[in-house]
């Protein structure tokens, strides 16, 4: 009877340890991912750096020129050429303005007229006698619209969607902060509970084992996410410019893969040291 009870207790302890490990893996993965999102994809300085890479520049060239093409149609009735009307330098300045408006720490936005005025000023400054002839024609037609040019830019550049993106970013950062705090407190609570039942060596073994699983999970998930733009034509996803954002994020996801590999390697050593011989 006593032997049966001890066997049952060992089985219950093993199941409890597996529960602890699953909880740690899920919690660490979510916390690390949310923190990475906040400091990379939600960070305007970081994303502006991404747009200056060769892949990022190609993405914003396509994105901003598509918006300027709509502007050409709105003011001239059509777009005469099939080539890009704006240069990379011009699209970079406009992209920076959109990123500054959308990302970062700010409150909920309700007005995009100020952004439209910034875009108008930028176009007026960047499109000069050396610019594409059709781009100059678009700018001249836009100037003739007077005060209504702001509303034309709002429509052409989908600034209503840009405002919605900015508000989603604010909502994400608020929820993100609360969730990270709650999960860290939950992690601490679980560690305190484990401290009452396990030795320090066993706790380190379980935690580092969870860390290894977290690293492996990050590698797997973010490799898949990074490959999506290579497999599918995500530019066809026009809702909130999600396709373009996903293409920009693909290179960031590869950095997450490297981060996951680092987490895996760092946890491997203490996990091996604390293994039961």
Residue 7 has pLDDT above 50, yes or no: no
Domain that holds residue 237: 1-40+198-276
83 and 155 housed in the same domain: yes
Give the residue, 191 or 43, on which the prediction is more confident.
43
In a domain, 190, yes or no: no
Instruction: Based on the fold, state whether residues 161 and 85 are members of the same structural domain.
Output: yes
Does 114 score more than 60 pLDDT? yes
Q: Is residue 227 included in any domain, yes or no?
A: yes
In a domain, 185, yes or no: no
Name the nearest CA neighbour of 105 among 164, 158, 39, 56: 39
Buried b (16+ CB within 10 A) or exposed e, 166-183: bbebbeebeebeeebeeb
Rounded to two decimals, the pTM is: 0.83
Mean pLDDT of 135-157: 88
Residues 14 and 124 in one domain: no
Q: Does some domain include residue 219?
A: yes
Q: CA-to-CA distance for 272 and 265, rounded, in angstroms?
A: 11
* CA 233 to mean position of chain CA atoms: 19
Q: Are both 26 and 51 inside the same structural domain?
A: no
Residues 29 and 140 in one domain: no
Using alpha carbons, select from 53, 56, 86 the residue that is nearest to residue 157.
86
Q: Say whether pLDDT at 9 is over 70.
A: no
Statement: residue 12 has pLDDT above 60: no
Q: Which residue, 179, 211, 227, sits at the end of a domain?
A: 179
Q: Check whether 130 has a pLDDT greater than 90.
A: no
Last residue of a domain, one of 152, 179, 206: 179
Which residues are within 8 A (CB) of 88 and not within 5 positions of it... i.e. 6 or more apart? 57, 61
pLDDT in tens, 171-213: 999 999 999 999 999 888 888 887 777 778 878 888 888 889 9
Query: What digits encode the pLDDT tens for the residues 211-225?
Result: 899 999 999 999 999
Query: Which residue in 207, 206, 209, 213 sits closest to 260, CA to CA?
Result: 213
């Amino acid at each position: 009877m006593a032997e049966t009870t001890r066997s049952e207790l060992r089985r219950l302890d093993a199941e409890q340890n597996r529960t602890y490990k699953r909880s740690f893996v899920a919690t660490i993965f979510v916390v690390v991912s949310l923190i990475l999102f906040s400091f990379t994809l939600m960070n305007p300085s970081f994303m502006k750096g991404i747009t200056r890479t060769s892949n990022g520049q190609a993405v914003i060239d396509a994105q901003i020129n598509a918006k300027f093409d709509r502007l050409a149609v709105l003011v001239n009735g059509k777009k005469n050429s099939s080539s890009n009307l704006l240069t990379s330098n011009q699209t970079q300045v406009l992209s920076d303005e959109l990123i500054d408006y959308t990302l970062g720490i700010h409150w909920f936005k309700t007005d995009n007229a100020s952004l439209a005025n910034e875009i108008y000023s930028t176009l007026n400054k960047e499109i000069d006698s050396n610019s594409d002839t059709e781009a100059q024609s678009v700018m001249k037609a836009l100037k003739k619209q007077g005060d209504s040019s702001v509303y034309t830019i709002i429509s052409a550049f989908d600034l209503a969607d840009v405002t919605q993106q900015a508000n989603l970013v604010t909502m994400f950062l608020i929820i993100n902060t609360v969730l990270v705090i709650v999960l860290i407190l939950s992690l601490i609570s679980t560690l305190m509970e484990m401290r009452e039942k396990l030795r320090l060596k066993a706790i380190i073994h379980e935690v580092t084992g969870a860390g290894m699983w977290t690293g492996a999970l990050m590698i797997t998930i973010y490799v898949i996410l990074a490959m999506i733009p290579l497999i599918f034509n995500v530019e066809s996803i026009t809702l909130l410019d999600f396709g373009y954002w996903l293409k920009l994020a693909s290179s960031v996801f590869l950095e997450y893969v490297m981060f996951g590999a680092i987490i895996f390697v760092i946890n491997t050593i203490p996990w091996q040291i604390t293994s039961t011989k």
